[in-house]
Structure 1
């Protein structure tokens, strides 16, 4: 199959061509089966072709395939926003808007923050990933490959260290850096918002320090700065709860949603305090495809499946099995390259590192190939691409999860 018509600037992790999938399994065009620990990079928390989602898509496609909501509202959008705002576990009145993607949600959140505060500066964090659009590139806490060769980016944006037990940056260090930022770089009164991932995805599943999250919430309240939580990858049950910010004991002002919101259909959202969401002029928010009826129907079916009982059971089982297997591998000395286990819940990363603790990206590249040949798809992450992202569907069958971890174990043993 020729790929000459596809831009070579798109990076491909696995040089295969997929044909179909079911829950946590996919097949390529040659008929080879793989266990999927990538899940469309966190999009398929309910797995491939979840029956409820498929049926909702099929039924909606017979009724209305598209209408621009800002031209004439349609029922799936209205019903989804009612359900979605009720699903977000905060104490304040919530409203929101639907978008086509997580990056578009982030872009709109920046507009909302500017409109609400009259300020323009944004504080993001080292290692962050918020999208590939021009404004979100500047939020990302990583240059290569996202910011290379694109010139001056929209700003002003500043970055702080991201405090986590998974990267050995302490709350005190991050607060000290924040104090320096406002002493040396920018007037705090010019800052519209902080944007932060409760668990960083691209950086290798680093879980935010709880003490820092609460200190940041207090600081934002004192300085009238908005706090935006990017739950695009960590949301919809990936950490065992509806959203990862709940484990931090805080409520953000705006929340970015995407990825697993609609069972594989392209959809995102910004939700938050109603007063903030309503502050822009009429027409300031919207989009032609934003909240497409079929995507909305898929999202409604997704919410039907994501009961608190399901999320807790799915997350707990996957966490218990993964942590147990990892601890066994460490105790056995399975490979000298086995580093730390990062993340929380079912959002876990396995670091590959050398004996001196430095990243081992060559071994991760080797592992990707070995695992793929053995029938397991994995996804790299981390600044040095040295951390495996484990993003199997939450609905993965226990036997398939064990089979995938067996393959991973065998491949780890083979690293040189």
Structure 2
């Protein structure tokens, strides 16, 4: 649901509405450095003064190339990269170029979200087609993939989110991930890790595939790498036989100057301020906080997640859909922005900017606890 608040500005981990009210932002984490990082703002302002845009088709922008190389280095791989304007475009281009155009069968996982374009939209909606097969991430899904391999003489293209956000903050099972790794090693499948929502840093590792111990053939990133500005990236691991020319863009705004300089400033800040290390340092404390404060409450079934992406599973027999929506509205009244995920909007998503402190987490969790308890009393 759209949050019924007119947001006009931001400050650190807070958003400010048109009435001047400050809201602690735990609803989404595209702005991983918060809403007022001065170094990122300075980089944007400086580039805007010099040149806002000139097509990448006719010139090379050094900062664009530098940014792509930095993201390959963070993955410790040699390879190529392609810039797009968004994560959805990065996913769509990957599936179209490596899958549909080369007549490879595309496999997606039930419950995953990769965008709402043609191929990505089919997977997001769980729609089977001649081009796309949807599998569950379990033994039945493994059997389906094995059957597809017996009818194909060329590798499959399999796209995954190691941690599925829209499915309710659910990790892919370890056995399923190991199976996919084996397919990649045996050259039976090209594995795409969709890092658009999960990276950089949100799992406590730079990339989520590092947190889950997988080795994708390529991965995609979205506007988090541009500080919230339009930007997407596809990175190819040449060691896994996936090759791409260096610094190619697929759209006129792919790898645009303003977004790329913002992205370079963001990377510098991530490392200088040890942002990802702090996420990992707070992880166990956050797990304990959620368990101690929320698990004993009637109506809360489970807490799960990793790093700064957490989910609180609600009991739908107690919290009907209307009540689940009310949790968001009551949280806003108490100064907190949250969102709902899952097939039935039955999971509270907690995903603040990565600069949120443990004290911010404590404040957010105590507000949720109060809201749920007050609703049960009423």
TM-score normalised to structure 2 length: 0.90
Distance across 1 between alignment mates of 2:357 and 2:365: 12
1:278 — aligned with what? 244
Distance 1:17 1:374 in 2: 16
Q: Which residue pairs with 2:94 in the alignment? A: 109
State the match for 2:300 in structure 1: 338
For the residue of structure 2 that corresponds to 1:62, the secondary structure is helix
Q: CA RMSD in A?
A: 2.7
Residue 382 of structure 1: aligned partner: 342
Offset, 1:84: 2.0
Residues 340-369 of structure 1, C-alpha deviations (whole Å, 9 max, x = no match): 1121121111111146xx985443212111
1:217-256 superposed matches below 5 A: 217-256=181-220
Aligned pairs for 1:6-45 (under 5 A) are 12-38=1-27, 41-45=28-32
Per the normalisation by structure 1, the TM-score is: 0.83
Instruction: Tell me if structure 1 keeps the 8 A contact 2:107–2:134.
Output: yes
For 2:207 and 2:165, locate their aligned partners in 1 and report how far apart those are by CA, in whole Å: 14
307 and 209 in structure 1: CA distance in 2 versus 1, 3 angstrom threshold = farther
Give how far 1:64 is off. 1.7
Unaligned runs of 5+ in 1: 1-11, 144-152, 163-173
Report how far residue 260 of structure 1 moved: 1.6
SS at 2:301 equivalent: strand
Cα distance, 1:308 vs structure 2 = 9.2
Q: Does 1:119 align with 2:106?
A: no
Aligned-pair CA distance for 1:387? 0.5
Total equivalences in the alignment:
374
Quick one: distance in 2 between partners of 1:401 and 1:343? 14
- Is 2:334 the counterpart of 1:349? no
Partner of residue 156 from structure 1, selected from 131, 139, 148: 131
Write the distance in 2 (CA, Å) between the matches of 1:304 and 1:279: 26
Q: Is residue 324 of structure 2 the alignment partner of residue 364 of structure 1? A: yes
Specify whether residues 121 and 180 from structure 1 end up closer, same or farther in structure 2 by C-alpha distance, changes over 3 A only: closer
Are residues 354 and 155 of structure 1, via their aligned partners in 2, closer, same or farther at CA, if it must alter by over 3 Å?
A: same
- When residues 50 and 365 of structure 1 are mapped into structure 2, their CA distance, relative to the original with a 3 A threshold, is same
Q: Say whether 1:70 aligns with 2:36.
A: no
SS of alignment partner, residue 189 of structure 1: coil
Residue of structure 1 aligned with 2:255, choices 288, 291, 296: 291
Residues 289 and 362 of structure 2 are in contact (CA less than 8 Å); yes or no, is this contact kept in structure 1?
no
Of 90, 94, 116, the match for 1:132: 116
Q: In the alignment, is the contact (CA less than 8 A) between 1:262 and 1:302 conserved in 2?
A: yes
After TM superposition, the structure 1 = structure 2 runs for residues 43-82 of structure 1, keeping only pairs within 5 Å, are: 43-82=30-69
Q: CA deviation at 1:185?
A: 10
Residue segments in structure 2 that go unaligned for 5+ positions in a row: none
CA contact (8 A) 1:229 1:254 kept: yes
**8 Å Cα contact 1:42-1:259 kept in structure 2:** no
Quote the Cα distance in structure 2 between the aligned partners of 1:323 and 1:48.
25
Three-state SS of the structure 2 residue aligned to 1:415 is helix
Q: Does structure 1 residue 393 correspond to structure 2 residue 353?
A: yes
Flag the 1:381–1:394 CA change in 2: closer, same or farther, 3 A: same
CA contact (8 A) 2:111 2:124 kept: yes
In structure 1, the partner of 2:142 is: 178
Aligned residue for 2:178? 214
> What is the alpha-carbon distance in structure 2 between the residues aligned to residue 326 and residue 98 of structure 1?
38
Number of the residue aligned with 2:283: 319
Kindly tell me: are residues 229 and 354 of structure 1, through their superposed partners in 2, closer, same or farther at Cα, counting changes over 3 Å? same
- Greater shift, 380-389 or 337-346, is seen at 337-346
Partners of 2:262 and 2:85 in 1: CA distance: 13
User: How many angstroms does 1:293 deviate by?
Assistant: 0.3
